[in-house]
Chains A and B, each alone.
Chain A
């Protein structure tokens, strides 16, 4: 157990809808990164938040957005869902600063129909 929690565990949405996924970081960690993992693939980096600011972004369109709150928990929002957005969404927390070691939550399985 890493101490990183995510909700919900599973979610089914329809194409065109919007979804919000949530993540609580490990105690003492101020940095949260979000990843998308399609079946049979490695995680793809979406973005990272450090002390409530976006601190790096991968090659995802603007309809993927996020927030980090003062308690360092985080949300991932996806608008205008597409079928290809079906994946496991992972958040990972880290200490930030010079520490890059990330610890993953259990993930949210999103299915878009």
Chain B
């Protein structure tokens, strides 16, 4: 079982719609959770991080964390074609271990 699992996609949504990206993780003691965006041929770019259960909003982006279900999601409202990219979920394991695990990413296509 991989530490972080994501659906590889592609996820296709029309412009202006809400895109919902999901991620599950295996280590129940994980403390920190991150979403990165990676355009083709570029390095990952940090979008959001979340540490506590619940929702965290930043502009058009909302990260949701449910530790009981070991589930993290990212919602992108009013999706734009420029949001088309691969979205990577990352998890830092328990605080005693500085190890970070990334999922393989979900490719998002926003169609004009």
Write the residues of chain A forming the contact surface with B, with a CB cutoff of 8 angstroms. 2, 33, 35, 40-45, 48, 50, 55-58, 88, 90, 100-107
Contact = CB atoms under 8 A, between A and B. Distances in A.
Chain B interface extent, by class: 20 to 34
17 contacts: A33-B100, A42-B6, A42-B105, A43-B88, A43-B90, A45-B100, A45-B101, A48-B100, A55-B98, A56-B97, A56-B98, A57-B99, A100-B49, A101-B46, A101-B49, A102-B46, A106-B43
Contacts of A50: 98
Nearest to A49: B98
Interface of B: 4, 6, 32, 34, 36, 42-46, 49, 88, 90, 92, 97-105
Q: Which 5 A-B pairs have the closest CB atoms?
A: A56-B98, A42-B102, A104-B43, A100-B32, A42-B104
Contact of B34 (A2, A56, A101): A101
